[in-house]
């Protein structure tokens, strides 16, 4: 169950460890934190696999943005993108609206 919960939520492991240690719940990741992780994820994936990674990243970005404002429209937009620069631009634009 935790494995599936980590899709788009890599903070889950830190949150669980903190809760087990202190009994306190950590707040959800802010949009700014999510944006930074998404950009880092894109950078690392493209370094590793090249531009083809953009297609693979679509599902990961969808998980990161799940339950955010207008995320369905955003996912429809990014599912057409094949270039890293365009993907980063659309992500930046989307996160400015949050």
For the domain that residue 89 is a member of, what is the CATH number? 1.10.1200.80
Q: How far, in whole angstroms, is CA 20 from its chain's centroid?
A: 25
For 45-57, give one letter per residue: b (16+ CB within 10 A) or e: bbeeeeeebbeeb
What DSSP designation does 83 have?
A: -
Domain, as residue range, for 77: 29-96
pLDDT of residue 27: 95
Whole-prediction pTM: 0.88
Q: State the average pLDDT over residues 22-41.
A: 96
Q: Which residues, other chains included, contact 53 with Cβ-Cβ below 8 Å and sequence gap of 6+?
A: 42, 45, 46, 84
pLDDT of residue 1: 73
Q: Does any domain span residue 66?
A: yes
pLDDT of residue 2: 84
Residue 85 in tokens: 């620069």
């Amino acid at each position: 169950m935790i494995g599936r919960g980590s899709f788009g939520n890599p903070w889950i492991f830190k949150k669980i460890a903190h809760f087990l240690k202190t009994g306190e719940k950590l707040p959800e990741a802010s949009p700014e934190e999510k944006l930074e992780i998404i950009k880092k994820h894109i950078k690392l994936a493209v370094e590793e696999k090249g531009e083809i990674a953009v297609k693979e990243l679509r599902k990961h970005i969808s998980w990161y943005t799940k339950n955010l404002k207008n995320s369905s429209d955003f996912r429809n937009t990014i599912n057409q993108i094949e270039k890293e620069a365009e993907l980063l631009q659309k992500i930046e634009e989307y996160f400015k609206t949050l």
